[in-house]
Amino acid sequence: MLFVGINPGIRSALTGHHFAGFSNRFWKVLYQSRLVPEPITFQDDDRLPDWGFGITNLVSRATPGIDTLRPHEYVGGRKKLAAKVRRFKPRIVALVGVTVFRAMFPEHKGPVALGLQAPALGGAAVFVLPNTSGRNANFSYAEMLSAFRSLRKCRTRLHGASERKPSECGARRPTAPRRRRSADGVRRSRSPAR
């Protein structure tokens, strides 16, 4: 599996490690979702291949935020990432943030749900995760953890199943609340399964 961030923040550039921001929750949620068997920090990012993971960024230039990234950087990043996927052949490309998905698939219109996506990338399943930066207030920690757990389930289903298609991964997309009848015959909504 290949994790893809949008670009390094200043602290990541200074330390030489991915997701190194003080408020970034990537490493915590990676462990709590059981994708890795022990707690690790940004300083352990070189250990990810031991568990079958790679990690990269769409754009290599470090910035305090993404607002200064230029369109040509996204275009170049798309080409480089596609080449990396062709070279290393991951089963899953996990895009850390909806912004990364939009940058990779600019032709996509409309909202982007977390989870498994319809487009593939070089034969790899594409899975969208929440942005784990502390600057991102779009998702709660519980939502992040749920998405990372769904990714773990997807990876488990694809692991060792070379004949399986990415669409058979089993990751669920958010759906509208389902209705059920209670004992008194009244229909009530409940949250979708996660």
192: Cα within 13 Å, side-chain hemisphere:
9
Provide the CATH topology of domain 2-190: Uracil-DNA Glycosylase, subunit E (3.40.470)
Calpha distance 145→139 (Å, rounded) = 10
- Joined together, the tokens standing for residue 171 give 């990751």
Task: Calculate mean pLDDT across residues 5-12.
Answer: 94
Average pLDDT across the chain, whole number: 85
For residue 161, name the pLDDT band (cuts at 50, 70, 90).
low
Q: Determine the pLDDT at residue 138.
A: 83
Q: Determine the pLDDT at residue 86.
A: 95
Q: What is the pTM of this model?
A: 0.82
Quick: pLDDT tens for 58-98: 999 999 989 899 999 999 999 999 999 999 999 999 999 99
The CB density around residue 46, as the number of other CB atoms within 10 Å, is 11
Whole-angstrom CA distances from 151 to 71, 144, 148 are 29, 11, 5
Q: Where does residue 73 rank: exposed (0-12), middle (13-18), buried (19+ CB within 10 A)?
A: middle
Among 96, 10, 9, 14, CA closest to 54? 96
Among 78, 79, 94, 72, CA closest to 1? 94
For residue 9, name the pLDDT band (cuts at 50, 70, 90).
very high
Amino acid identity, position 56? T
Q: Determine the pLDDT at residue 178.
A: 34
Q: Where are the domains of the chain?
A: 2-190
Quick: pLDDT tens for 105-159: 999 999 999 999 999 999 999 999 999 988 777 899 999 999 999 999 999 998 7
